[in-house]
Amino acid sequence: MSRSFADKKAIKLDPILARANLRKGTTCMKLEEYTTAKEAQEKGAFVAPNDTN
C-alpha cells in the first residue's frame, strides 16, 4: 500500500491527523495541486502547531 493511499485512508478515519494532512499537502505540491496542498498543510499545522517532526 502506498503512503499516499494510507494517508488518504487515515484522514478519512480521523480527519485531524496532523502528520497525514502534512504528507497529503506535500504529495499535492508534487502533483501541482496547489489549492489542495495549501488546505492540507494548513489543516495539519492547525491541529498540531508545535509538531516539528
Per-residue pLDDT of 2-35, as tens digits, reads 666 677 777 777 777 788 888 888 889 999 999 9
Locate cell 498543510: which residue?
41
Q: Distance (Å, rounded) from C-alpha 6 to C-alpha 50?
A: 24
Residue 52: what pLDDT?
61
Can you tell me which residue has the cell 489542495?
A: 36
Contact partners, residue 43, CB within 8 Å, separation at least 6: 15, 16, 21
The pLDDT, as a whole number, for residue 37 is 93
Q: How many CB atoms lie within 10 A of CB 51?
A: 11
